[in-house]
Amino acid sequence: MLVKPVLIVCPTSVLSNWGHEINKFAPQLKTLLHHGDRRKKGQPLVKQVKDQQIVLTSYALLQRDFSSLKLVDWQGIVLDEAQNIKNPQAKQSQAARQLPAGFRIALTGTPVENRLTELWSILEFLNPGFLGNQSFFQRRFANPIEKFGDRQSLLILRNLVRPFILRRLKTDQTIIQDLPEKQEMTVFCDLSQEQASLYQQLVEESLTAIADSEGIQRHA
């Protein structure tokens, strides 16, 4: 039961979609869209959200309006497309970590896109300090796994984070009935001679890089 507002942060492009989905599946929830030039800030925002259960905003405004958002006693914070905080030093990542909340949820299909520190950044938002500070994580897990393919360190890390991850696959029977039929479209792109030559060069370089890589880099 929601007794205080929950903040949902998502990319600007899906703000309206979040509103539509909430209205479709949970129309009883009072929802506020914190966006646009007329949005309230400071104490007027605190007063406005007291009567709301869901507050929707974007990552850009999470950073820009941080001084106002941190004044609210949030019951929870939900990050959609949480890879947006993959850079621990980014201002929006710091803002997300510093907002007070009773619970935190991170939604993403790509918790690790390039480096393991991206996973650390998300876990630091969810459970601060659980994986140690960034330098410890880099020394204990990221370097051994990424540079040397240390399977023991990978297994330890996997076991550490497993209790905090709920993974859904397209093959899961619990969700497959809610998914629309896959639509495939083939688009042909004609290349000039120069473009085709450059494309072939990139393909050959990529295949060589894959053949020479090891461990997590090979399976990324």
Q: Has residue 178 got a pLDDT over 90? A: no
| Annotated domain spans of the chain | 6-181
DSSP state for residue 64 in the 8-state scheme:
H
**Nearest residue to 53 (alpha-carbon basis) of 35, 36, 78:** 78
CATH class name, domain 6-181: alpha beta
Contact 94, 65 (CB under 8 A): no
Contact 15, 56 (CB under 8 A): yes
Residues 100-126 have a mean pLDDT of: 94
* pLDDT for the residue 202: 94
Could you report the per-residue pLDDT of 35-60, keeping only the tens digit for each?
999 999 999 999 999 999 999 999 99
* pLDDT for the residue 28: 96
Contact 134, 88 (CB under 8 A): yes
Could you report the per-residue pLDDT of 69-109, keeping only the tens digit for each?
999 999 999 999 999 999 999 999 999 999 999 999 999 98
For residue 107, the tally of other CB atoms under 10 A from its CB is: 13
* pLDDT for the residue 193: 94
Strands 54-58 and 74-80 turn out to be: unpaired
What is the reported pTM? 0.79
